[in-house]
Amino acid sequence: MAVRMRLTRVGSKKNPIYRVVVADSRSPRDGRFIEIVGRYNPQTDPSTIDLDADKVKDWLAKGAQPSDPVARLIKAAGIEG
């Protein structure tokens, strides 16, 4: 099973807010996930990046692959994997 850390969209129409989730790579974008590890709100100034560092490090150690946007969020949050 290929596990990925990726964004799933929540929020209302034209008001995107994202959850950072750990999910099977075969599941749909807003579908089933394993665990929520953070959230990201691009609407605020500056953007809100709220990640649980312990959970992120744990999943990276287990072999979860972050998507490109999530990798940028992890780097911006200053979390070392």
Dihedral (CA of 53, 74, 39, 23) sign: negative
- The reported pTM is 0.90
Q: Where are the domains of the chain?
A: 3-77
The model's pLDDT over 62-71, given as tens digits with 9 standing for 90+, comes to 999 999 999 9
The model's pLDDT over 17-57, given as tens digits with 9 standing for 90+, comes to 999 999 999 999 999 999 999 999 999 999 999 999 999 99
Report whether 2 contacts 24 (CB < 8 A): yes
Other CB atoms closer than 10 Å to residue 18's CB: what's the count? Answer: 19
Report whether 32 contacts 40 (CB < 8 A): no
What CATH number belongs to 3-77?
3.30.1320.10
